[in-house]
């Protein structure tokens, strides 16, 4: 499949449709797809006949399962740097989506994870359905939430975002709305009618109104009922103390969260905690993306990303051998080096004053 086939473009009425088209790979993003989406946004912005962009995913399983992490692992094993180039353009695309001047409608139906969140949750109109399964699961592959994920999760109410960042838990429509990752719930059966309505819109204002008109009440979620223990436990200073609080608070769901966290990469967990808390202090998505690029660049050269992808995707034994293997073995210095400036290698989206977070 060439890059033009992996992202399909067409216009209906005055809406430019962008369809991720790698359904067998759950529409996982590669570099060519990122560049093609960016080109599509440039063309749509400059075309006065286009009033909105609509992003969707081909197939029945979801919008996008994330980046092509198998290729990233292969690149790391080969000592390459193409993944850093991919992230550079991907993060720039995430920022482009957030600042796009026309309505950017993302259909977050089915699986939306990692890089899929990056091309959808920064949009201005984010639609979820009862089939939506949204997550930033990076800690499970020895990586750290990126694509602006630390910024999004850092802005969630209380400590909900940190809970999702450390556990990698999947949320449905109601919890995505609660956490600020989505704007409207539309039953999946109503999506064809919504699309028809959008395609008849002649103005950006009509697009916004159509999305709201089809919006309804999502089936009940879980996180709102867990706010007490989540906010109390995740307010701790360290990952070790967070896990201890989760284990000791007497709530079965909290104990399960502790078990989930302890299966993740110790290094990724500690860096994720620092990254989300640092992102809360930053003034813009662009500054957070700059920070994430530093973190990703260091994580790419470490052992856990390669090992995590091996365990989850390549060999599928679900038994990663993290290095270091214990939280206590990850020093403050190990964490800090993920945030060190990259000099000429900086992404450079945000203000220079925030270069070190």
Task: Report the catalytic residues.
Answer: 67, 115, 138, 146
The enclosing H or E element of 8 equals strand 7-12
Alpha carbon distance 264, 137 (integer Å): 10
> Alpha carbon 149 to chain centroid distance?
5
The residue among 7, 29, 20, 42 whose CA lies nearest residue 87 is 29
DSSP string, 192-227: HHHHHHHHT--SHHHHHHHHHHT-BPPPP-SGGGGH
The residue length of the chain stands at 357
Question: ∠ CA(253), CA(305), CA(273), 5° rounding?
Answer: 45
The residue among 116, 148, 119, 146 whose CA lies nearest residue 132 is 116
Lay out the sheet containing 133-135: strands in order across.
Answer: 62-64, 111-113, 133-135
Where on the phi/psi map is residue 270: left (φ > 0), alpha (ψ -120 to 50), or beta? alpha
The enclosing H or E element of 128 equals strand 125-128
Alpha carbon distance 64, 121 (integer Å): 12
Question: ∠ CA(9), CA(68), CA(114), 5° rounding?
Answer: 85
């Amino acid at each position: 499949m060439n890059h033009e086939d992996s992202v399909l473009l067409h216009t209906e009425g005055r809406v430019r449709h962008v369809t991720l088209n790698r359904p067998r790979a759950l529409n996982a993003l590669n570099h060519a797809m990122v560049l093609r989406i960016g080109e599509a946004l440039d063309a749509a912005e400059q075309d006065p006949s286009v009033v909105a962009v609509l992003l969707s995913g081909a197939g029945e399983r979801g919008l996008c399962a994330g980046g092509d992490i198998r290729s990233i692992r292969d690149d790391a094993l080969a000592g390459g740097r193409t993944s850093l180039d991919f992230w550079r353009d991907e993060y720039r695309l995430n920022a482009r989506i957030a600042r796009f001047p026309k309505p950017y409608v993302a259909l977050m139906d089915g699986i939306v994870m990692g890089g899929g969140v990056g091309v959808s949750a920064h949009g201005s109109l984010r639609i979820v359905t009862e089939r939506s399964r949204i997550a930033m699961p990076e800690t499970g592959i020895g990586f750290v939430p990126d694509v602006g994920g630390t910024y999004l999760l850092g802005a969630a109410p209380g400590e909900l975002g940190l809970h999702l960042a450390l556990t990698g838990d999947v949320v449905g429509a109601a919890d995505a709305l609660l956490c600020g990752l989505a704007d409207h719930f539309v039953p999946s059966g109503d999506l064809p009618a919504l699309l028809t309505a959008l395609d008849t819109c002649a103005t950006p204002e009509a697009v916004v109104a159509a999305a709201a008109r089809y919006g309804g009440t999502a089936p009940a979620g879980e996180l709102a009922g867990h706010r007490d223990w989540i906010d109390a436990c995740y307010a701790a200073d360290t990952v070790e103390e967070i896990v201890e609080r989760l284990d000791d608070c007497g709530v079965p769901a909290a104990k399960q969260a502790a078990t989930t966290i302890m299966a993740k990469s110790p290094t990724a967990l500690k860096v994720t905690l620092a990254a989300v808390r640092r992102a809360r202090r930053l003034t813009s998505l662009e500054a957070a993306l700059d920070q994430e690029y530093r973190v990703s660049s260091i994580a790419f050269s470490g052992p856990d990303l390669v090992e995590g992808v091996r365990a989850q995707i390549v060999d599928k034994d679900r038994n990663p051998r993290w290095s270091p293997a214990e939280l206590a073995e990850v020093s403050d210095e190990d964490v800090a080096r993920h945030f060190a400036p990259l000099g000429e290698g900086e992404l450079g989206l945000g203000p220079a004053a925030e270069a070190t977070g």
